[in-house]
Structure 1
């Protein structure tokens, strides 16, 4: 990605909604909490009439995300999983969906349970296994879900190449871009049809909002999904949109600091005696390093690692940390640590976890923007205690 593109994203994020109030000249986009809006007259609607259908604050946020992702239509939802569920409204009982075997546990749970109810047919596949992916695509799926980097093992797929083969069999491609945000990756420019986020994470960045957003490449697809979002009532609130819009303004500068810290943390962990393996695309030896370098503007601030000594060592690590907080989620300014098997991916059966490479000794961290020396000191102490 060029410097011009990065600069444009930075400026666009900072300027989101600035100086758009035509009534009072407010510099910051106003928060519109009204649930309903008056008509000009009989059967004469204004732009907005009811906040489930449309809200000025939410519309501003949706448009900014669409612009950052270089898409046509943005749809703000109440949660990240609501955005995933919205995509499912495109499917019928005869359609086939292909998802990665190592996707986020909530997505895995949703797709597998909807398939059990007969909403669609499902194929779960290792998308890094070309033969397995080809076999899945031979079923001519309606939708292929991609997650790159994957949660929690940071596996990469070549979005552009996979999208080409998916389109060749008539499949729509939806990409979960939560781990990177539009500051570091724009899947629609790589050919994808839909990109979605949990805005709870990096886009908001302050762990005080739960929300989601999806952006479509074409207006036609966006209009169809917007109709469904209104129909089933999963659009996001005005207040959550206002907070997420505020957080978005610092996204590029936050991501810069997140990544600087993450690189030092990854180097520290890679050389630590208590660690068996580190999964971080920024390492040249990472299997997806070349792909990440090609399609991303940075390597992100998520990484995972295997602790020597298994789950008991993991418990000791968690019990001896002060900077890192043991909690769900990611992408906030604070550093978080989690145990995927019992937290983010607890909705998967143990057999499915193991198939995806999620072991009891696996730990995932979201590196915050605290002073990196404090972060390293905290990890050093915790890891030392984990081996006692």
Structure 2
């Protein structure tokens, strides 16, 4: 395992905050230690113009409030707004802008986010430019309003320099949004480096149990928060109370889970680097990653995410997947179970082929979400499968 001292210090009190923030039992009449699940869609008024706190569950719900406030605190933010999915969060952010506004997006992002930006932005009348990290400043126009990047990109594991991009954005009076799904607030807090917005697909590591679809936006900017809160109410992209209840439960073990994901993924990555059937490993926590030093400057550690290139092509990839037993061939990531997928035919098949070629999303690029199983079993499974390639 990498020397933790090489990274930023771990956030102090993270696990305590995740367990207790905004969850004081004395706020409930029952004094329940676990936040009660409130399924009611509507709430009684004192009279037509007055109600106690909640009016209608789309506008506000006790379970959602607890989760939003706790998640904001974990990311060192003031305001959190939860959505029914990670893409719902992205959709809401896009709706902050208007016809004629220009958005710059990092070149390597989740396939469905790419499709949302390419195919839906144009219907909104928004202009869009995809740009590499080194070309973001040159892509700025007079009507640029937003820069959107992933802090660790999906699936080629590029690292964007959040602080440098934030300085460029603010110099030009542009907002910076950072999708930090792959790293989580336990390992990275983009607001600390100048980001205006942090986005997470809660469906992944934050929930961590592969049983909830949800997203969140977090900010310290009151104006942005008010816009997003308004959009949450009028667009209705809201998560269910039970899902919020589930995630509030899940984040209590986030620190423990992320430590183990990091340990497991580093051991798996080190094994893959030495294997003769593997062409290249992309893991920001390994010294072989070209941006390893940058990653350490803005992170406290790494998650279970890595990608690697098999020697060969589609036929070899299929042989590899067919031979796995402990790893599951499936989309998504960040759960306790280890998953693998082929981005070119799965998560990123919606990206135009010419763009996939530029990004090197080839038929031998395997994306891996290393879970919480015993590492010895994971490596044994990989070794057996690679022998069949």
Q: TM-score range by the shorter chain?
A: over 0.9
- Aligned pair 1:175/2:178, yes or no? yes
CA distance in 2 between partners of 1:229 and 1:30 (Å): 23
Residue equivalent to 2:140: 137
Q: 5 Å matches for 1:232-251?
A: 232-251=235-254
1:309 aligns with one of 309, 312, 316:
312
Residue equivalent to 2:207: 204
Maintained 8 Å contact 2:8/2:299:
no
Residue equivalent to 1:6: 11
CA, structure 1 residues 10+71, in 2 after alignment: closer, same or farther (shift >3 Å)?
Answer: same
Maintained 8 Å contact 2:77/2:220:
yes
Residue equivalent to 1:158: 161
- Measured after TM superposition, the shift of residue 192 of structure 1 is 0.5
- Measured after TM superposition, the shift of residue 20 of structure 1 is 4.7
Residue equivalent to 2:271: 268
5+ residue gaps, structure 1, are: none
Maintained 8 Å contact 1:101/1:355:
no
CA distance in 2 between partners of 1:14 and 1:371 (Å): 26
- Aligned pair 1:31/2:37, yes or no? yes
- Measured after TM superposition, the shift of residue 230 of structure 1 is 0.9
2:50 aligns with one of 44, 47, 50:
44
2:256 aligns with one of 235, 242, 253:
253
Cα RMSD between the aligned structures? 1.3
- Measured after TM superposition, the shift of residue 338 of structure 1 is 0.5
Residue equivalent to 1:283: 286
TM-score, normalising length: structure 1: 0.96
Residue equivalent to 1:101: 107
2:132 aligns with one of 101, 105, 126:
126
CA, structure 1 residues 51+121, in 2 after alignment: closer, same or farther (shift >3 Å)?
Answer: same
CA distance in 1 between partners of 2:361 and 2:308 (Å): 10
CA distance in 2 between partners of 1:169 and 1:357 (Å): 31
5+ residue gaps, structure 2, are: 1-6
Task: Report the number of matched residues.
Answer: 382
Residue equivalent to 1:62: 68
CA distance in 2 between partners of 1:2 and 1:339 (Å): 32
> Aligned to 2:272, what secondary structure does the other structure show?
helix
- Measured after TM superposition, the shift of residue 117 of structure 1 is 1.9
Residue equivalent to 1:114: 120
- Measured after TM superposition, the shift of residue 118 of structure 1 is 4.6
CA, structure 1 residues 378+20, in 2 after alignment: closer, same or farther (shift >3 Å)?
Answer: farther
The superposition leaves residues 54-86 of structure 1 with CA deviations (integer Å, 9 ceiling, x where unpaired) of 000011000000001111211110011000000
Once structures 1 and 2 are overlaid, which stretch shifts more, 181-190 or 138-147?
138-147
1:84 aligns with one of 69, 90, 97:
90
Maintained 8 Å contact 2:181/2:205:
yes
CA distance in 1 between partners of 2:43 and 2:233 (Å): 16
CA distance in 2 between partners of 1:90 and 1:225 (Å): 7
Maintained 8 Å contact 2:319/2:388:
yes
CA, structure 1 residues 368+250, in 2 after alignment: closer, same or farther (shift >3 Å)?
Answer: same
Maintained 8 Å contact 2:100/2:143:
no
Maintained 8 Å contact 1:98/1:125:
yes
- Measured after TM superposition, the shift of residue 42 of structure 1 is 2.9
Maintained 8 Å contact 1:91/1:119:
no
The superposition leaves residues 173-225 of structure 1 with CA deviations (integer Å, 9 ceiling, x where unpaired) of 00001001110101011110100111000000000101111111212210111
Residue equivalent to 1:339: 342
CA, structure 1 residues 256+39, in 2 after alignment: closer, same or farther (shift >3 Å)?
Answer: same
Maintained 8 Å contact 2:8/2:297:
no
CA, structure 1 residues 218+287, in 2 after alignment: closer, same or farther (shift >3 Å)?
Answer: same
Residue equivalent to 1:373: 376
CA distance in 2 between partners of 1:213 and 1:157 (Å): 21
Residue equivalent to 2:151: 148
Once structures 1 and 2 are overlaid, which stretch shifts more, 63-72 or 281-290?
281-290
Once structures 1 and 2 are overlaid, which stretch shifts more, 269-278 or 134-143?
134-143
